[in-house]
Amino acid sequence: MTKKDTTHFGFQDIPIEEKVKKVRDVFDSVASEYDVMNDLMSFGVHRLWKRYTVSLANVRKGQTVLDLAGGTGDLTALFAERVGPTGKVVLADINEAMLRVGRDRMIDRGLIGNVTYSLANAECLPFASNQFDKVCISFGLRNVTDKDAALRSIFDVLKPGGQLFILEFSKPTNPLLSKVYDLYSFNLLPKVGKLVANDEDSYRYLAESIRMHPDQETLKSMMETAGFERCKVDNLTGGIVAVHSGYKL
């Protein structure tokens, strides 16, 4: 098997065709406890990261937004408030269990008029070209097998003048913070996953997937190669998380 036939799943090399199923299995396992674990893993700071991203997006009434890899719908709810009844937010995810949890949460919040749902693979989005004013993918791109294909697909579905926002774990800019973060990710995080979600392996994979994700400058370059312009990076919490943004002009 050649390198071209394999991809990474955490720190493992696996056949490309196996990754989607393996990632799906991880999120099937953690879906019901996903929000609780997000709060525990980030000490609640993930909510601030998400609100910051939404504020950067500057969504207006009547716009159409794609919340890609939207999972349990945190960003969908924030976007739905901003686009209003004349706008639309599509909550899309490749994982049916996560999408089901997200849909139930939106219904519980009464967000039923301007939110729709799509079981979608980011690498080949099932939407018409030039459809969305904004696309946001939050903590999902690192799980995509072919990130370049996903960026091209996102570029296609954006309207001219539209924007992409990628909120994702990244590389800490301070060496000391990086060491502390590694200790937390590989020692404490899997143990918390075992205690709360009874799933140590899935949270070990999530920690490994963060380390395998492209760093800030590499991802910015990938966006530019896909056609995005005026790309920029906003580091949050010392670079533990970054928001990448770019325009389709």
pLDDT tens readout for residues 10-20: 677 778 877 77
Beta bridge partners of 231: none
Q: Which whole number is the average pLDDT over 195-212?
A: 78
Domains parsed from the chain with CATH numbers: 3-173+205-247 (3.40.50.150)
What's the CA gap between 14 and 77, in Å, rounded? 35
Question: Which pLDDT value is given to residue 34?
Answer: 66
Which pLDDT tens digit goes with each residue over 38-96?
A: 776 777 899 999 999 999 999 999 999 999 999 889 999 999 999 999 999 999 999 89
Convert 175-208 into a string of H (helix), E (strand) and C (coil).
HHHHHHHHHHHHHHHHHHHHHHHCCHHHHHHHHH
Distances (CA, A) of 107 to 79, 84, 90, 117, 163: 15, 16, 14, 12, 27
For 245, the 3-state DSSP assignment is: strand
Residues 6+ apart with CB under 8 A from 197: 29, 30, 33, 36, 37, 203
Q: 209 falls in which pLDDT band (50, 70, 90)?
A: confident
Q: Indicate the pLDDT class of residue 29, thresholds 50, 70 and 90.
A: low
- pTM of the entire predicted model: 0.88
Q: Of 63-77, 163-177, 181-195, which gets the smallest average pLDDT?
A: 181-195
The full DSSP string for 65-76 is: EEEET-TT-HHH
Confidence of residue 205 (pLDDT cuts 50, 70, 90): confident
Quote the tokens at residue 63. Answer: 């716009």
For the segment 194-223, the average pLDDT, to the nearest whole number, is 85
Which helix (DSSP H) or strand (DSSP E) does residue 91 occupy?
strand 88-93
pLDDT for residue 40: 67
Q: What is the pLDDT of residues 88-125, one digit of tens each?
A: 999 999 989 889 989 999 999 888 899 999 999 999 99
pLDDT at 2 over 60: no
CA distance 141 to 164: 12
User: Residue with structure tokens 């670079």?
Assistant: 239
**Residue 160 and residue 130 in contact, taking contact as beta carbons nearer than 8 Å:** yes
Q: Is 134 helix (H, G, I), strand (E, B) or coil?
A: strand
Asked if 168 and 150 count as a contact pair (C-beta separation under 8 A), the reply is no
